Structure 1
Amino acid sequence: MRYLYSCPLRWSDMDAFGHVNNVVFVRYLEEARIDFMRRLAPGGGSPSFKGGSVVARHEIDYLRPLVHRHAPVTVELWVTRISAASLTVGYEVKDEDALYARASTVVVPFDFAEGRPRRLSAEEKGILKEYLDDASRQEGTVAV
Structure 2
Amino acid sequence: MEDTATLHRPEATAYRHVYEFHVRFGDIDSQMHVNNVKFLGYLEDARLAMFHADPVRAGLAPVRGMVVSRHEIDYKVPLSGVIHPIRVETWVTELRAASFKIAYEVRDADNLYATATSTLVAFDVENARLRRYTPEERAYIARFLKPADA
TM-score range relative to shorter protein = 0.7 to 0.9
Moved over 6 A (4+): none
Decide which of 98, 105, 109 is 1:96's aligned counterpart.
109
Q: How many residues align?
A: 134
Q: Which residue identity lines up with residue 40 of structure 1 in the other structure?
A: P
Q: Which amino acid aligns with 1:77?
A: T
Matched, 1:37 2:51: yes
Q: Distance in 1 between matches of 2:78 and 2:84?
A: 15
Aligned partner letter, 2:46: A
**Which residue is 2:73 aligned to?**
60
Of the three residues 63, 71, 81, the one matched with 2:94 is 81
Instruction: Work out the CA distance in 2 between the residues paired with 1:59 and 1:117.
Output: 22
Q: Normalised by the size of structure 1, how large is the TM-score?
A: 0.85
Q: Deviations along 1:8-39, whole A, 9 cap, x unmatched?
A: 21111011100100000010000001100012
Question: Which whole-Å CA distance do the structure 2 matches of 1:29 and 1:57 have between them?
Answer: 13
SS in 1 for 2:79: coil
Q: Secondary structure at the match of 1:119?
A: coil
Matched, 1:112 2:125: yes
Which runs of 5 or more residues in structure 1 are unaligned? Answer: 139-144
Aligned amino acid, residue 98 of structure 2: A
CA apart distance, 1:70: 2.1
Which amino acid is the alignment partner of residue 130 of structure 1?
A: R
- Determine the structure 2 residue equivalent to 1:22: 36
Identity of aligned residues (%): 41
Over aligned residue pairs, what C-alpha RMSD do you find?
Answer: 1.8
- TM-score, normalised by the number of residues in structure 2: 0.82
